Amino acid sequence: MPKYMLDYIRLCRECSHDISTIGNMRSIVIPTLQREVAKIRSAVSMVPEGCPELQQDADLLESAIRAGLQRCAPQPAQQELFAA
């Protein structure tokens, strides 16, 4: 897996929840990585016997993307949780 993808996974796990960082992740980084996963899946499908290494990379990246989307989802403020 390319270093920039591994860097994304590391940075996402260490997210500071800064609003500009979250905005960049949701609008630029995550969509770009989703396109990369699609390219990897396409390449794997073209090889008759498959490519386990690429398949594992795609699985890892998809898992990281799902986690990133969950981390970047806006969370309600505490007072909103108890509003009637």
pLDDT in tens, 56-82: 989 988 998 898 888 887 666 544 555
The answer to whether residue 4 sits within a structural domain is: no
Distance CA 2, CA 7 (A): 9
Specify whether the CB–CB gap between 5 and 36 falls below 8 A: yes
pLDDT of residue 59: 92
Q: Report helix, strand or coil for 18.
A: coil
Q: List, for residues 38-55, the tens digit of each pLDDT value.
A: 999 998 889 888 788 889
The answer to whether residue 23 sits within a structural domain is: yes
Specify whether the CB–CB gap between 40 and 58 falls below 8 A: yes
Specify whether the CB–CB gap between 9 and 64 falls below 8 A: yes
pLDDT of residue 39: 93
pLDDT of residue 7: 79
Counting the structural domains of the chain, the total is: 1
The answer to whether residue 37 sits within a structural domain is: yes
Q: What are phi and psi of 40, to 5 degrees?
A: -60, -45
23-43 mean pLDDT:
89
The residue range of the domain holding 64 is 17-71
Distance CA 18, CA 65 (A): 18
Predicted TM-score (pTM) of the model is 0.73
